[in-house]
Amino acid sequence: MSDATSGQGPNVSRRRFIQAVGTTAASVAAGLHIGAPARAQSRSANGRLGVGFIGCGGRMGAHIGAVQQLKNEGQPLDLVAVSDVYKPRVDAAVQATGGKPYRDYRELLEDRHVDLVCIASPDRHHGPQALDAVEAGKHVYCEKPMTHWSQFEVAKKLARRVKERGVAFQLGTQRLADSIWRQGAELIRQGVIGKPLHAQVGYYRQGDWGERGMPILDPSAKPGPDLDWKAFLGDAPEVEFSVQRFFCWRMYLDYAGGPPTDLYPHVFTPLATVLGLGMPTRVSAAGGKLFYNHEREVPDTVNILMDYPQGLTVACMGTQVNAWEMEWVIRGAEGTMTFSGPGIQIFPADGRREPVKEVAREASGDVREMWLNLIECIHSGGKPWSPVDMGYCVQTAMNMGMLSLFEGKTAHFDTDRERIRI
Ligand SMILES: NC(=O)c1ccc[n+]([C@@H]2O[C@H](COP(=O)([O-])OP(=O)(O)OC[C@H]3O[C@@H](n4cnc5c(N)ncnc54)[C@H](O)[C@@H]3O)[C@@H](O)[C@H]2O)c1
């Protein structure tokens, strides 16, 4: 990997790569308590669901607001518990919810009033905390990304255990609340564009991460009774405390991955839903930290190319430096599908820009609708809009992109052994 690719030397990339595909399974397994398979049971009285919130920073505000609103609208939900490693955040969440405070999320999972957890901690904790929640028989609304880019084995285990435990799991890619992705999937099944061969999606915006994007709430904060640095690190490499790492964690590869894992799940999961994508056969990425030149480690500009076994190639592209958007397109042998206008437009395959078919969106939505969908699935046993198996495939494709970027090689998916090879 060249310096231009990541802004780091090859030794660093090699270390990250070994961490990602070599040691993660063992370190993760050591941190998990895996119980015997069992059907999850709601322990709530009167059919009400007690919700516990893990990681109560910026994003959790939207979830607390949505759950409170749904409760006010008469949904059988109670905001019963909150957890964070930073006391000021716990205090604020208690104020917002009236829930019982926990500093350690594992204690929240032992609370018998909690039936359903929402996880919005930094990326690295999503998988391990969701796994622990699933083992405890809780239903889960987990923010994207499903895991950190180095945690392939965690994503794999989570996908398996959600099914084995029979709990409901919604991954927080809220664009899936828009019906056009499911409508698009149906049109693809009907063959309106023939065999899909080529697809493109992108995520373009302008703005760095760092102190402007992630404010340092207290420059004098330090580990102690109010801040659990060890719990923040989880299975990340042990490093000395720094306020930047704690508050602006998105800048660091130990805790985040930049656009491929933070932003692309928002655009790639809808596309994967329309196309019914499973695991890619091979993934290759280009780009790196091309512009924001400070202590930020994660890339700002990345193009990822993915091949799928059904004979389909997909490009997922973007930058955080320029917000000029690209069109989302699926090109088939007999037509072209776009997601502009009133919903979905179908064009002829010869490039003419006159739509041959237009399909209006049936319903739109956001976080509130994602919660409603999850609640409905808890009761019906149905499949949520953003299910764990789709999350596993999307996360793996993005992880392969990250590894390809670091190594300067193509990453392959070994279906027989269910693992990444590079
Ligand atoms: N779906 C979306 O549109 C969307 C939008 C923003 C963020 N997110 C996701 O939400 C997550 C949180 O992002 P944020 O912007 O709120 O970050 P944040 O830093 O504001 O909040 C994270 C919180 O987690 C706490 N925390 C850290 N380690 C913890 C641990 N081990 N256990 C419990 N709490 C812990 C921190 O103290 C902090 O309060 C990210 O993974 C991000 O990708 C999703």
| Tens digit of each residue's pLDDT (9 = 90 or more) over 112-149 | 999 999 999 999 999 999 999 999 999 999 999 999 99
**Per-state percent for the chain, helix, strand, coil, to nearest 5:** 40, 20, 40
- Omega prior to 196 cis, within 30 of 0: no
What spacing in Å lies between the alpha carbon of 183 and ligand 1's midpoint?
31
| pLDDT given at position 283 | 98
Question: Which amino acid residue places its CA nearest to atom 21 of ligand 1?
Answer: 57
Q: Which CATH architecture best describes the domain 28-173+368-389? A: 3-Layer(aba) Sandwich (3.40)
Q: How far is CA 271 from CA 265, 333, 369, 402, in A?
A: 10, 18, 19, 19
| pLDDT given at position 40 | 47
Calculate what percentage of the chain has a pLDDT beyond 90. 86
| Tens digit of each residue's pLDDT (9 = 90 or more) over 64-104 | 999 999 999 999 999 999 999 999 999 999 999 999 999 99
What spacing in Å lies between the alpha carbon of 122 and ligand 1's midpoint?
4
Q: How far is CA 80 from CA 48, 115, 372, 418, in A?
A: 11, 10, 18, 38
What spacing in Å lies between the alpha carbon of 119 and ligand 1's midpoint?
8
Question: Which amino acid residue places its CA nearest to atom 40 of ligand 1?
Answer: 122
- Cα dihedral 251/29/121/177 (nearest 10): 100
Q: Indicate whether residue 174 lines ligand 1 (CB < 6 A).
A: yes
Q: Indicate whether residue 172 lines ligand 1 (CB < 6 A).
A: yes
Residue count (the chain)? 422
Atom of ligand 1 nearest to the CA of 61: 16
Among 420, 403, 184, residue whose Cα is nearest residue 279: 420
Confidence of residue 294 (pLDDT cuts 50, 70, 90): confident
Q: Indicate whether residue 320 lines ligand 1 (CB < 6 A).
A: no
Q: Please give the model's pTM, rounded to 2 decimal places.
A: 0.92
Cα–Cα distance measured from residue 239 to residue 249, given in angstroms and rounded to the nearest whole number: 13
What spacing in Å lies between the alpha carbon of 123 and ligand 1's midpoint?
7
Q: Indicate whether residue 86 lines ligand 1 (CB < 6 A).
A: yes
> At what angle are helices 367-380 and 60-72 packed, to 10 degrees?
60
Cα–Cα distance measured from residue 280 to residue 305, given in angstroms and rounded to the nearest whole number: 10
Q: Indicate whether residue 56 lines ligand 1 (CB < 6 A).
A: yes
Q: Indicate whether residue 147 lines ligand 1 (CB < 6 A).
A: no
Cα–Cα distance measured from residue 33 to residue 420, given in angstroms and rounded to the nearest whole number: 25
Q: Indicate whether residue 31 lines ligand 1 (CB < 6 A).
A: no
Confidence of residue 209 (pLDDT cuts 50, 70, 90): confident
Atom of ligand 1 nearest to the CA of 121: 24
- The rounded mean pLDDT for the chain is 90
| Tens digit of each residue's pLDDT (9 = 90 or more) over 94-120 | 999 999 999 999 999 999 999 999 999
State which H helix or E strand residue 30 sits in. Answer: helix 24-30
| pLDDT given at position 75 | 96
What spacing in Å lies between the alpha carbon of 58 and ligand 1's midpoint?
7
Evaluate whether 336 touches 192 at the Cβ level (below 8 Å).
no
What spacing in Å lies between the alpha carbon of 87 and ligand 1's midpoint?
15
Question: Do the bridges between strand 329-332 and strand 169-172 make them parallel or antiparallel, or are there none, so unpaired?
Answer: unpaired
State which H helix or E strand residue 180 sits in. Answer: helix 180-190
Evaluate whether 403 touches 148 at the Cβ level (below 8 Å).
no
Tokens of 330: 């699926």
Q: Indicate whether residue 269 lines ligand 1 (CB < 6 A).
A: no
The residue with greater pLDDT, 45 or 411, is: 411
Q: Indicate whether residue 103 lines ligand 1 (CB < 6 A).
A: no
Pocket probe for ligand 1: among 54, 56, 59, 84, the residue whose CB has the most ligand atoms within 8 Å is 59
Read off the pLDDT of each residue in 257-282 and give the average, rounded to a whole number: 98
Q: Indicate whether residue 55 lines ligand 1 (CB < 6 A).
A: yes
What spacing in Å lies between the alpha carbon of 356 and ligand 1's midpoint?
44
